[in-house]
Amino acid sequence: MSLVVFPFKEESPDLLGKNISAAAAHPAVDEVWAVASSESDVTSAVLEVVETASVSVGTPVDVFPQERIGTFRPGKGDGMNTAIALAADRGFDRVHFYDADITNFDARWIEGAEAAADRGYEVVRHRYPRAATDAMITWMVTRPALAMLFPGSLIPQLGQPLGGEMLLTSKVVGALAEDPFVAARSDWGIDTVLSHATSVLGVPMYEHNLQEGKRHSLYGSLAELRDMVVECLDAARSLRSRARPAPGSVLEKDLPAPAPADLKEIVAYDFDATVALLVEGWTAEETSLAELLPDGIGDLLLQSKSAPNFSFMNADRWGVVLGHLLDGFVLGEPAWEALAFRLWLSRVLAYTTGPALEGYDDAMDYLEATIREYEKNADHHVVR
Ligand code: GDX
Ligand code: MN
Q: Is 157 in the pocket of ligand 1 (CB under 6 A)?
A: no
Query: How many CB atoms sit inside 10 A of residue 378's CB?
Result: 19
Ligand nearest to the CA of 7: 1
SS3 192: helix
From the alpha carbon of 80, which atom of ligand 1 is closest? Answer: 1
pLDDT over 70 (residue 68): yes
Residues near 123 by beta carbon (within 8 Å), at least 6 away in sequence: 166, 167, 168, 169, 172, 198, 201, 203, 204, 205, 206
Report how far apart, in Å, the C-alpha atoms of 206 and of each of 121, 168, 286 are: 6, 11, 42
Q: Which helix (H) or strand (E) holds 32?
A: strand 29-36
pLDDT at 247: 85
Distance CA 148, CA 8 (A): 32
Nearest CA to 213 out of 158, 259, 277 is that of: 259
Residues near 273 by beta carbon (within 8 Å), at least 6 away in sequence: 220, 221, 223
Q: Are 93 and 1 in contact (CB under 8 A)?
A: yes
From the alpha carbon of 66, which atom of ligand 1 is closest? Answer: 1
SS3 35: strand
Q: Is 31 in the pocket of ligand 1 (CB under 6 A)?
A: no
From the alpha carbon of 101, which atom of ligand 1 is closest? Answer: 16
Ligand nearest to the CA of 19: 1
- List the beta bridge partners of residue 29: 2
Near ion ligand 2, which residues have CB within 5 Å? Answer: 101, 216
pLDDT at 345: 98
DSSP state of 11: -
pTM above 0.95, yes or no: yes
**Res. 382 pLDDT band, cuts 50 70 90:** low
Distance CA 82, CA 69 (A): 7
Ligand nearest to the CA of 134: 1
Rounded mean pLDDT, 264-284: 93
Strand order in the sheet with 29-36: 61-65, 29-36, 2-8, 94-97, 166-169, 123-127, 205-209, 251-253
Q: Is 138 in the pocket of ligand 1 (CB under 6 A)?
A: yes
Ligand 1 pocket: which of 5, 8, 138, 221 to mutate (most atoms within 8 A of CB):
8
Q: Is 137 in the pocket of ligand 1 (CB under 6 A)?
A: yes
pLDDT over 70 (residue 356): yes
pLDDT at 383: 55
State the Cα angle at 94 between 91 and 95, rounded to 5°.
Answer: 95
Cα(150) to ligand 2 centroid in Å equals 27
Q: Is 128 in the pocket of ligand 1 (CB under 6 A)?
A: no
Q: Is 69 in the pocket of ligand 1 (CB under 6 A)?
A: no
**Res. 268 pLDDT band, cuts 50 70 90:** confident
Q: Is 4 in the pocket of ligand 1 (CB under 6 A)?
A: no
Report how far apart, in Å, the C-alpha atoms of 343 and of each of 120, 243, 268, 277 are: 42, 29, 19, 11
Express each pLDDT in 128-183 by its tens digit.
999 999 999 999 999 999 999 999 999 999 999 999 999 999 999 999 999 999 99
